[in-house]
Structure 1
């Protein structure tokens, strides 16, 4: 899987900062960069990238105006770059994956790319975010002197715990020595989805989704657990659930 990226920002140093961070991540390819909204619109229509990092405030056409001017069917996944958080509502009206406050820190940048990987399979042109041959089938868990193999198919949800993560499977919990975003890259995106910066859920475990006024949602799982789904993950989660429903109905 390769996600093609365009960067739009009127500040050359800001574009360079995104380029340098992007180069640290496999599976992302820089397709182009633009310094203003007008040239970016033409460039995006021609290059057809999968993901765009776009500055909200630019001379002339703003980042919001740029995205609004693109036909919805041709609008790539978007991560907004801004010095203010007052654009959040507009960002999610345009189904932006995330918005990053400047100066951007590495952890938030990594989280935004995780969202892009999660959403990519459901964007029409996308292929599976994790190749079948590289998906994990089991997780190795150390318990004292023993190593237990926990089948991925039995995992119901995964929650972050600092540099570790907790697997919930068949009423048991297992602590694995990997960060949540690393585990997300090993999972089939058609079955598992990140719903919050601190949790991943197996999609068929979701029994009910209740929207909240702040665009977050509460998820009730089949085991009775209740989790919060962050609004930044909601567009991709909604598409994933629709795909799952379509598949089960066919």
Structure 2
């Protein structure tokens, strides 16, 4: 069960969020806070999985609260704001989404679903992650190379050489440097066979190798523009942003360790 805290200096705003959360059986309310300092103390003590947090609060703002937490202690966050001008900072703090006030029920449900999808990758509940993906391949079972038909010949491409993959109808195109290879496999099926520690789906038609991403620029519609190390621009849809940010964070941590 996902534990959620609600942080807003307006009691009516807090009750609006908590009443919506009450309709979801897989959500447990971990706490309510009306100001930044108490929220910071509560998050540190109770470690909720997700927070709905108001951006603009007197004293310590919602963004200040998140920034004050070490990255490994920072919960998933859905920002609450009356102004659509915090996208860049939201991405920097790895926010799952942000909701404009007054909150729309459909957008609220969409943001909560995004948090559900990202939760297994946060590493706070390994049993929950295992239950969410009971048939996931083991590391040894992930694809390490692909057999490519080239006329009457067959070539082999190492998965570690693939920089990104795009859908081509029922096929997938592998991008390896300045060369492309057509693989007779759908992107959906391919995404299940790739190691999620190395590859991440960023769009319904695109998969990227995580260590090839050099830049992420948020867009006003909550999508993002990626740039790979070779300069290739790729669009990441808002549906996949949460997972992408988690994988980029995990990759950066592994590089440091």
User: So what's the TM-score if we normalise by structure 2?
Assistant: 0.60
2-side partners of 1:203 and 1:39: how far apart?
40
Shift of 1:25: 2.3
Task: After TM superposition, list the pairs within 5 Å mapping 1:2-21 onto structure 2.
Answer: 2-21=1-20
2-side partners of 1:50 and 1:60: how far apart?
24
Assess, with a 3 A threshold, how the Cα gap between structure 1 residues 37 and 232 changes in structure 2: closer, same or farther.
Answer: farther
Assess, with a 3 A threshold, how the Cα gap between structure 1 residues 3 and 37 changes in structure 2: closer, same or farther.
Answer: same
Structure 1 residue aligned with 2:225: 217
1-side partners of 2:34 and 2:235: how far apart?
37
2-side partners of 1:125 and 1:32: how far apart?
18
Where structure 1 has 5 or more consecutive residues not aligned to the other structure, the ranges are: 136-155, 159-167, 173-186, 221-225, 245-250
Structure 2 residue aligned with 1:153: none
* Contact 1:50/1:76 (<8 A) preserved: yes
Residues 3-39 of structure 1: per-residue CA shift (max 9 Å, x gap): 1100000111111111121122232211110111111
Structure whose alpha-carbon radius of gyration is higher: 2
* Contact 2:3/2:30 (<8 A) preserved: yes
Q: SS of the counterpart of 2:99? A: strand
Structure 1 residue aligned with 2:86: 87
Q: CA RMSD in A?
A: 4.1
* Contact 1:12/1:35 (<8 A) preserved: yes
Structure 1 residue aligned with 2:132: 131
Shift of 1:131: 3.3
User: So what's the TM-score if we normalise by structure 1?
Assistant: 0.62
1:237 to 229, 244, 255: 244
Aligned residues: 199
2-side partners of 1:3 and 1:219: how far apart?
33
Task: After TM superposition, list the pairs within 5 Å mapping 1:1-250 onto structure 2.
Answer: 2-127=1-126, 128=129, 131-132=132-133, 195=202, 199=204, 211=215, 213-214=217-218, 216-217=224-225, 228-230=235-237, 233-240=240-247
